[in-house]
Structure 1
């Protein structure tokens, strides 16, 4: 009972902190939105994703890491908001590319307004992110501001490389993939902009550019990979009401997730042929029966359990790298929050 109580308290504390950050960041994002015309087809849609509560992990990482290394909230908030605005811009484009129907519990922009208007709104969010970042970096000395902008450039390129890799796998119908391929993909597509970049930027500002970034990359990669695998699993086993996105959407989209890669590696010839047939279909051709069949095979061949165990191994490595990454950080609530994130991800699986 004590273990269950401790896990519940951990989840409550972490999610309470994330909600607190989310409220502050949403207010600031919406305050940064331009007023003008056309409201119906640009400025209104631009406000939709920032208005919907998300995890707020990225700004929370930036704020906590920055304060742990000595920065003030005032120095960091604009940077954290720019990160979250760019994340929302990426989401709009991701939803278009994936043909997704749900985002944060409501229809996607492309489902509501059409692809063209959604892409315009996504571009607009990216522009506002740059405006917010420019204002925020005026607080910093020039060399430090240049370093922060360079970090954003690197993050954006790594993310695009990952997105292009995933799109290429689907367009070329690549099937002979394994865990190393998956980790390479999410290092670029997910980890860099979800965990590594927010941690690095916060630490750079807090330390005045003197922090050793290598350990932060190693911790951020392993923590981010485990977090992404957890999200992949929730897409397969979660409930749409709490998950906020289309359940089984990854299967409908033909995404090369770790459970799918494992299934392809262990299925017998008959079942592997079914998976190959499924992968060669377009999203519109993948019927609910076909999608459910692939999902059932993941249970039959232990792909869900394999993925959970794989992620738990990555989390253990992340825990080891944490102390190296934050050896120069100041003790306090921000460091405690960052330290609690690894057991938090673990607790959410229990």
Structure 2
């Protein structure tokens, strides 16, 4: 069945959003406005991603891990569902997940009357694994939308990497994001946003988006330290710590919002912002994320000890830092990540113990690391 219409395309190689024309025949043809063909997806390789209301989100099996196509045209979306042989099955699976959430919603109504007995944290622990990952993504998108006006950044766009001098750094970070995403193999893609801020921080939003602040990039001594910190944040995303913490912080109002269909609006968004701005997790969550970082770095062939080295050096720099010309101490920028990721001696020892010894090749080569250092401009 032939059909065509407009769509939004992410090629998975860059973070650029492209408005395209899609033609459906014996394959899914992705065409630029000037008529040039960008890609062609065989119909038997088309897979569904968690969709947002009003849009069908697709990816290609065997293609770039972060590639996706978003179709808002209802007629085209229906035609693609009918033509792609494996898409209807994945769509049915998503519908089955939705039914599971509806059933859990009914259970949540009963649970809300008992939270005084069991407590909100216990309910959050039980609820989080039952939620589809599309809920994490919705929470993450809402948090991203609101937090961009909450974080103090340097002059220029919130996200680095768009200017001609910054683009090589963006490409280097995209390559690292693809390697992390492929190795982690989560149900959602990993998307890393370089933030134009002096905060020495990295922050995992629910649903796979990670903020990497320029302050942390500038404090890194080598590429594996950046990779290990990001692998730690991927661990928080994989363990759904942000979603769980938001449910716990939001309390009954957030759970009622989930039951009544306002899960990411109103109090839910406020709760997510509060958690992300504090960025504090339990010791158990941090230990699990450390172990995840070590395992992921091993899978990538990198140095699994790099996370411990970064934590130790940031702690030492915080202790030795002096106020800058503006009267703000270096510790005020470093403290954010150190406070939310406490660098105790025991923690470094634990990382080294599970990391062990063995050969390691850099996850990010020197050229990419130097390019990443300039992702927010040559003077950052």
Normalised TM-score (structure 1): 0.28
Normalised TM-score (structure 2): 0.27
Larger Rg, first or second structure (1 or 2): 2
